[in-house]
Structure 1
């Protein structure tokens, strides 16, 4: 797939910078169940919230909910919800940041307190939730810490659908394999949508770990996904994904090995960042 096609896909799944109630749309709402919506509804002409400046990144006190500091912290909450509650039939996005506050915590890091609207993509339900994100400072592998209200209205019961999907692919004679989800026209075959969702949830484990105050990650595309043989009760997948880091405008390639079952959920076994794709590197700003 060429650079132009990838950037079009990223724009479709990007963050809205509008100051209206439609600000900060989800990075995946242009597809899945919402594929039937119009381009206007899915934020086709998305822009990033504001130009990045040091003062903006280090803002304290009350934050503009449409500017980078609040948006970045809120995006981490989206990845957190997907890692905790995501499934082939339950997927979370950030719809809107209502308010935000940031404070320095001694020399240990910065804490963000947020009021956001979280969108469960497949059921098209939205709920306002409170969340706290702490970005630690220091050397070593330091990851963002998230605490959030559970947003129970969004935790729809999908066990029957998940069990049916699990049994179908557990007993299939041939192993699943697919590429370019979505394709350059934004299309995904209906039977591939649950696995696209699975790959997004698995990618949220990467994006949650990689997120800092200086990053803003979106899923761009599942380049490939294939089912592997397994000797236990888990379905096992190898997956290559393209992630858009919207601050640097880089398209990053990651390889994932993960398992899934309706009983155990997703377990990421291995993850590896691959060398940059020359045709994907340094993508221009999406407008």
Structure 2
């Protein structure tokens, strides 16, 4: 009888395993993705707070996403950095100098009393025509309050600002200042992504002018790109400045809509782009999505 009881106990032990073995909570989901800006919990923290309310944890993660250190590849940092690109174009852009965001290296966000939310960023900016690149420090403040307020930007990119394009700009200005048959063109680029060489400065000029719209419209929840110049018409020269009427298409990366804007502006080498009027046009139902919207 004693021998039989020993055998039965041995069999039961082999089937059920050791009663002292524990599976660590969460081990089965160890490969699951975590919030990009959350701080990983230690085993002790997991055991201590394992019973926390799920909604409270989500609120904590949302707070971490919006303040403190940001993930450079995620939307909060990318959206703020894109504003810096638009700012540089409005201040320093020309038909031969256009700035683009290349990389976000690091970023932080913080609430500033009742003023809004401030982002401090380290980014690399590229001048798209010369391909020159510089690492820059920048600060973006998204104001709070009623109505639409443009972000306030401070940026230090001294190397890129020293790129000398005065000779090309002056030659272009003189050519079209004396132009008897004023410029008119459509679809820059065309449906194949092609732009005639002579029209490239006017595509660049459209990008610079579009940055005035994108800077004005930018918020923490928006992300815009220039898509296409649908139409450009040169108007009569005024006060020693070339004058243009542009119909531009912007790509709203959030809604995936193509937004049409009319821009009236002047340009001269000494004064740069001066926007006289900007107007959002009614939504164009059935319009084909233009190329080059990334």
TM-score range, shorter chain: 0.7 to 0.9
In structure 2, C-alpha distance between the alignment counterparts of 1:71 and 1:56, rounded to whole Å: 17
What's the secondary structure of 2:157's corresponding residue? coil
State the Cα distance separating 1:173 from its structure 2 match: 1.2
Of 164, 168, 179, the match for 2:171: 164
Partner of 2:181: 174
Partner of 2:208: 201
In structure 1, C-alpha distance between the alignment counterparts of 2:195 and 2:182, rounded to whole Å: 18
In structure 1, C-alpha distance between the alignment counterparts of 2:201 and 2:289, rounded to whole Å: 30
Partner of 2:76: 69
Structure with greater contact order relative to length (CA < 8 Å, sep ≥ 6): 1
State the Cα distance separating 1:195 from its structure 2 match: 0.6
> Which has the larger share of helix?
2
Partner of 2:236: 229
State the Cα distance separating 1:248 from its structure 2 match: 1.4
In structure 2, C-alpha distance between the alignment counterparts of 1:57 and 1:275, rounded to whole Å: 38
In structure 1, C-alpha distance between the alignment counterparts of 2:289 and 2:186, rounded to whole Å: 23
State the Cα distance separating 1:132 from its structure 2 match: 0.3
TM-score (norm 2): 0.75
Of 70, 80, 85, the match for 1:78: 85
Determine if the alignment matches structure 1 residue 214 to structure 2 residue 221: yes
Of 245, 250, 255, the match for 2:257: 250
- Which 4+ stretches in 1 moved above 4 angstroms? 280-283
Determine if the alignment matches structure 1 residue 130 to structure 2 residue 148: no
Of 131, 150, 161, the match for 1:143: 150
Q: Select the structure of larger CA radius of gyration.
A: 2
What's the secondary structure of 1:146's corresponding residue? strand
Decide whether aligned partners of structure 1 residues 193 and 63 sit closer, same or farther in structure 2, where only a CA change above 3 A counts: same
Q: Is the 8 A contact 1:249 1:282 kept in 2?
A: no
State the Cα distance separating 1:106 from its structure 2 match: 1.6
Q: Is the 8 A contact 2:236 2:243 kept in 1?
A: yes
Q: Is the 8 A contact 1:226 1:237 kept in 2?
A: yes
Deviates further, 55-64 or 141-150: 55-64
In structure 2, C-alpha distance between the alignment counterparts of 1:259 and 1:198, rounded to whole Å: 10
TM-score (norm 1): 0.77
Provide the aligned length of Structure 1 versus Structure 2: 233
In structure 2, C-alpha distance between the alignment counterparts of 1:207 and 1:199, rounded to whole Å: 12
Give a deviation string over 1:31-65, Cα, whole Å, max 9, x none.
Answer: xxxxxxxxxxxxxxxxxxxxxxx938962100000
Root-mean-square deviation (Å): 2.2
Decide whether aligned partners of structure 1 residues 56 and 177 sit closer, same or farther in structure 2, where only a CA change above 3 A counts: farther
State the Cα distance separating 1:181 from its structure 2 match: 0.2
What's the secondary structure of 2:203's corresponding residue? helix
Decide whether aligned partners of structure 1 residues 282 and 165 sit closer, same or farther in structure 2, where only a CA change above 3 A counts: closer
